[in-house]
């Protein structure tokens, strides 16, 4: 790591299921960021020309050129092999990204070094290195996007595992053995029960849906349910109880698995943290077996940039960062 590199900006690309977030970051500060629709069902390759153009636009807005950049970081919601720069497996989204030569694309499009990581793992790095969880060494993260991403940090080391899947499959912890079939092939996964993507299907199967405020919404996600619950809508209120039950079970599982001091929460849902956090914390504290005390909760200050910050750190440090 040279001093020159620290003065250079990192280009971070966060390929989410709904949006692609693109940021320029220097020393933990987001210089500028933008958003593209992901259309992730149609694959990643058709989106790459737009991503490249958006990066060049951001650079121009900041008066920077590619020569002022240290590298490109790519975050994906799947199993990523950071050493071989490849996506090993992904669930439904970006199917064509598995095995895609990201290194060759970055070389051709930008002529810069590349790092890759699972998005939630990058978010955990971002929040513990630069964000509100700065300095924490034992942490788990849950990020509520289209799906539910998780990651774990133990004794200062990011947990990655032999097959790169340790810590990141918390969205597929089973929270109801009699639950719904999940898109991963499992049954009753946290994502199948209480994620942004599964919520609409769950609501439509409930009695009272036709009489709910939510029946007139064309696209139902967390925000619509929270808003309707605030208006006293009966179905939305019962949906919130359902969500709290599953989210808290998922977090308790993470606490039992990885023994953290803190639980870091990020993602779009945390824009409603004033509404959801108190009940979520209450349930986790009630259910978690932690005789040493109570896990603390930390919410990302800017949930839209957690992944981008972590990717920039990986570019600055290289992939030799301490993993287990």
Which residues of the shown chain bind Zn ion in the complex (CB under 5 A)?
Answer: 172, 182, 184, 186, 189
Give whichever of 28 and 186 is closer to Zn ion, judged by the CB atom: 186
Q: How far is the CB of 107 from Zn ion (least distance, A)?
A: 34
What gap in Å lies between CA 324 and CA 315, rounded to an integer? 19
Calpha distance 14→151 (Å, rounded): 16
CA-based torsion, 38, 39, 40, 46: positive or negative: negative
Least distance from Zn ion to the Cβ atom of residue 6, Å: 40
- Nearest approach in angstroms of CB 187 to Zn ion is 8
CB of residue 172 vs Zn ion: minimum separation in angstroms?
Answer: 4
CB of 110 to Zn ion, least distance (A): 34
CA–centroid distance for 104 within its chain: 25
Among 21, 260, 301, 269, residue whose Cα is nearest residue 149:
269
Nearer to Zn ion, 131 or 170 (CB): 170
Least distance in Å: CB of 234 to Zn ion?
Answer: 29
Residue with Cβ nearer Zn ion (131 or 188):
188
CB nearer to Zn ion: give 178 or 231.
178
9 vs 182, which CB is nearer to Zn ion? 182
Helix, strand, coil percent content, the chain, rounded in steps of 5: 45, 25, 35
Instruction: Give how far Cα 288 sits from Cα of 64, 204, 254, 285, Å.
Output: 49, 32, 10, 6
- CB of 184: closest distance to Zn ion in angstroms? 3
Name residue 26's beta-bridge partners. Answer: 29
Dihedral sign, Cα of residue 195, residue 199, residue 201, residue 207: positive
CB of 193 to Zn ion, least distance (A): 10
What sign results for the dihedral spanned by CA atoms 8, 67, 69, 321? negative
- Identity of the residue, 105 or 144, whose beta carbon is nearer to Zn ion in the bound complex: 144
* Alpha carbon 39 to its chain's center: 17
CB nearer to Zn ion: give 48 or 187: 187
- Nearest CB to Zn ion, comparing residues 177 and 216: 177
CA-closest candidate to residue 246, choices 105, 125, 103, 148: 148
Ramachandran angles phi, psi of 215, nearest 5°: -65, -25
Q: Contact at 8 Å (CB) between 68 and 8?
A: yes
């Amino acid at each position: 790591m040279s001093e020159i590199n620290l003065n250079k900006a990192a280009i971070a690309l966060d390929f989410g299921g709904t949006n692609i977030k693109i940021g320029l970051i220097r020393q933990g500060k987001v210089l500028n960021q933008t958003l593209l629709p992901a259309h992730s069902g149609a694959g990643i390759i058709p989106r790459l020309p737009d991503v490249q153009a958006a990066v060049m636009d951001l650079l121009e807005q900041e008066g920077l050129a590619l020569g002022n950049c240290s590298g490109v970081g790519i975050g994906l919601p799947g199993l990523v092999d950071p050493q071989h720069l490849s996506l090993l497996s992904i669930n439904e989204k970006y199917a064509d990204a598995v095995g895609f030569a990201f290194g060759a694309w970055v070389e051709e499009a930008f002529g810069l070094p590349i790092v890759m990581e699972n998005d939630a793992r990058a978010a955990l790095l971002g929040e513990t290195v630069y964000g509100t969880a700065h300095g924490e060494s034992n942490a788990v993260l849950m990020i509520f996007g289209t799906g539910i991403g998780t990651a774990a940090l133990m004794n200062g080391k990011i947990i990655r595992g032999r097959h790169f899947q340790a810590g990141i499959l918390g969205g597929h912890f089973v929270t109801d053995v009699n639950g719904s079939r999940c898109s991963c092939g499992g049954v009753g996964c946290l994502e199948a029960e209480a994620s942004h993507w599964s919520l609409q299907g769950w609501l439509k199967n409930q009695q009272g849906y036709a009489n709910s405020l939510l029946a007139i919404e064309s696209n139902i996600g967390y925000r619509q349910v929270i808003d309707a619950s605030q208006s006293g809508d009966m179905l939305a209120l019962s949906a919130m109880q359902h969500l709290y039950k599953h989210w808290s079970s998922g977090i308790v599982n993470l606490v039992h698995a990885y023994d953290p001091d803190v639980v870091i929460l990020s993602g779009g849902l945390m824009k409603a943290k004033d509404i959801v956090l108190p009940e979520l914390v209450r349930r986790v504290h009630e259910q978690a077996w932690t005789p040493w005390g109570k896990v603390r909760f930390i919410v990302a200050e800017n949930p839209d940039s957690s992944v981008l910050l972590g990717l920039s750190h990986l570019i600055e440090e290289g992939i030799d960062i301490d993993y287990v």
